[in-house]
Structure 1
Amino acid sequence: MDAKDAVTKLISKISSFTVTPNYEVLFFSSEIYKVVDIIDFFDGKMKHKDSVKQELDKFEVGDRNTAGTDLNLVFKTFLEQMAMIKTRVKEEAFKEHRHVIILFTDGGYNMGGSPKPNVERIKQMIYMNHTSEPGTQSREEFLDIYIFAIGAEIYDEDLQPLTAGIGLQHYFRLKDIKNLQKTFDEIIGDI
C-alpha cells in the first residue's frame, strides 16, 4: 500500500458514514502538491468522493521534489484554507463546521520550523476562545487532528503535541504503511 492507496481507502471508509465531507488532499515534502482543493467543493467543481478518487488516481509524484518534510507549511496551508472557508460562509455558519485533519508523515519534520504555532492558530480559529472562558460550551469537538507517524525513526515528542480532539486516540505510530489498513479499521470501528 502506498500513500495514494491509503488515502483512497480512508475516503472509502469515511463514505460509509451518513455525513458527506468536503476534502482537502495534498501531498508534501518541502513543498505542497495539492490534489484536491476543498474550495472546489464550495464552488461546485467537486461533488463527491468519486471525484476525489479520480483526482487521486491522476496524481503522480513524477519528478517532484520529495526531499525534506515541512509540516509547518502543511499546517499553514490548512490554516489559510480554513480562513478562506470562514470568509466565504461567514462566522455563524463557520461555527457549525467540523474540521478533521488527517496527516501522514515519515516521523517528524526537518524543514520550515515548528508547526506548533500554526496548529495553535487553527485551534484558536475553531475553538473561538471558548475552551478557556467559564460558562461557555467547549468547541473542542469541532476539531480533530490525527497524526499517523510512519517509519523507523519517529520523533514522538515533536508530533504528539500537534494532535487535537477529544475521546479517541489521535496519534498513531506505525513501522510501515502496510499496517495502516488495520489501524483504519480499528479507528472506524471505534467511531
Structure 2
Amino acid sequence: GQKHNLLQILNKLGDFKYSSKGKRTGTNIAKAYWSIYESMLIEKEIDKKSFLETQHIVIMFTDGHANMGGNPKPKVENIKHLVTQKDPSRDNKLEVYVFGVGNDINKEDINDWVTKRDNEKFFFNLPNLQEVQETFDQMIDDSTSVELCGIQHDYTKNRRHAFPWLAQIKILRSSGMTNCMGSLVTSSYILTAAHCFKFGDIPDAISIDLKRHLSVKVE
C-alpha cells in the first residue's frame, strides 16, 4: 500500500550515498514546470468542467539558475495555453508566481515566466525566510479569498505557523555564507535544489533554520 511504498522510498533515501551520483548534478526548472503541466493535464482529463472553472495558481521557489532542461519559458507557455484555451477572457484563470530566493537571483529569466498583469506583482525577490510571510500577505486579497480555508494575516505572535514546511539552508564556505530554501517532506528529510551544494561542502558547515532562533545541524 501507500505506507509500504513510502517506507521503501525512505529506506532508499537512507541508503543513498552522495558520492554515488558522480558528476550527474544539475537543476532542471523546465522539468519542474513540465511536471506541473502534466499534472494539470490529468486533472483536465478527469473533470474538464471543474478544470475550466478552477482558478489555477502556480508558485515556484527558485533562484532562476538552471543548467539542465533548457529554457523553462516554453513549458510555462504550455501551462498558459492549457488553462486559457487561447481565449483572452480566461487569462485571469491562471496566475504564475515566482519567489526568487537566495543571494544570486536570475531576475531577467524569471521575469519571462511570471504572469504579466497591470498593477499586480507576480515576481518576489526574497533574501531570506523571514520575508516569505510578508510576501504571501501581499499576494492574498481578503476581498477575493474569503472562501479559502485558514487564510489570515495575523501571524505576529508566531509567523512560522503560516508556512511550517519551509526551511532555510545556510552553507558556510571560504567565500562566505550562502543561502538556499528547502521544503520539509518528512521529519527527517528536506527537499532542495541540487545546485545549492558544491563538492567539498561538509555537514559541519551546513545548518538549517526551521524558525527564528531555531537552527539544526546536518548529520
Query: Does 2:86 align with 1:147?
Result: no
Q: Select the residue among 71, 88, 110 that pairs with 1:114.
A: 71
Query: Paired residue for 1:174?
Result: 126
- Report SS of the residue matched to 1:139: helix
**Which structure 2 residues correspond to residues 6-17 of structure 1 after superposition, within 5 A?**
none
**Structure 2 unaligned blocks of 5 or more:** 3-9, 145-219
Percent of counterpart pairs with the same letter?
34
C-alpha separation in 2, matches of 1:189 and 1:127: 23
**Which structure 2 residues correspond to residues 13-162 of structure 1 after superposition, within 5 A?**
67-90=25-48, 92-131=49-88, 138-162=89-113
TM-score in terms of structure 2 length: 0.51
What's the offset of the Cα at 1:101?
0.6
- Report SS of the residue matched to 2:86: coil
Structure 1 residues 98 and 189, CA, compared in 2 at 3 Å: closer, same or farther?
closer
* Count of aligned positions: 126
Structure 1 residues 174 and 139, CA, compared in 2 at 3 Å: closer, same or farther?
same
Q: Give the structure, 1 or 2, with the largest relative contact order (CA under 8 Å, sep 6 or more).
A: 1
Q: What is the root-mean-square deviation in Å for CA atoms of aligned residues?
A: 2.7
C-alpha separation in 2, matches of 1:182 and 1:68: 31
C-alpha separation in 2, matches of 1:186 and 1:139: 23
TM-score in terms of structure 1 length: 0.58
- Point out the structure with max Rg over C-alpha: 2
What's the offset of the Cα at 1:189?
5.1
Structure with the higher fraction of residues in helix conformation:
1
Contact 1:107 1:151 in 2 (8 A): no
Contact 2:96 2:113 in 1 (8 A): yes
